[in-house]
Structure 1
Amino acid sequence: MTANVGTTDRVIRAVLGLVLLVLPFVNVWSGFENVYLTYSSVIVGIVLLATAIAGTCPLYSVLGLSTNGRT
């Protein structure tokens, strides 16, 4: 896969991913009724971090988008 995520996009994804991973551990969404929100936050956080580290986004590839200036 070719890199289709630019530097600014990668930084934003990494920061947002880390925030979403930390929120459940600081009990922002506590209680059984918010268990889906907690799991969703962790999953989205992992995906954002993975795409930031890899430098490629599968959704961008499908849509033909790129924030990388070197394409």
Structure 2
Amino acid sequence: MFEKKDEYLQGSEDLQPEKYTVEPIIGNYKQNLRFREFITMGLDSVKTGFNLVCSAVNLKKIWLKSKQMID
């Protein structure tokens, strides 16, 4: 009887969902920049859209740093 219980408990580790945290950067894009949905469908289109969002954020950072250097 105990052998069956050990086998059951051993397999239950695989069934538990993975525990992870959402990266703060992606959370910032979704919450503060209101970029929550992709209009296009398909993985390639979503990757392209997310690359555009990342490029826009990086350009904004460059613009703010250059503005600080001028002042």
TM-score above 0.5, yes or no: no
TM-score, L = length of structure 2: 0.34
TM-score, L = length of structure 1: 0.34
Pick 1 or 2: higher relative contact order, CA cutoff 8 A, min separation 6: 1
Larger radius of gyration: 2
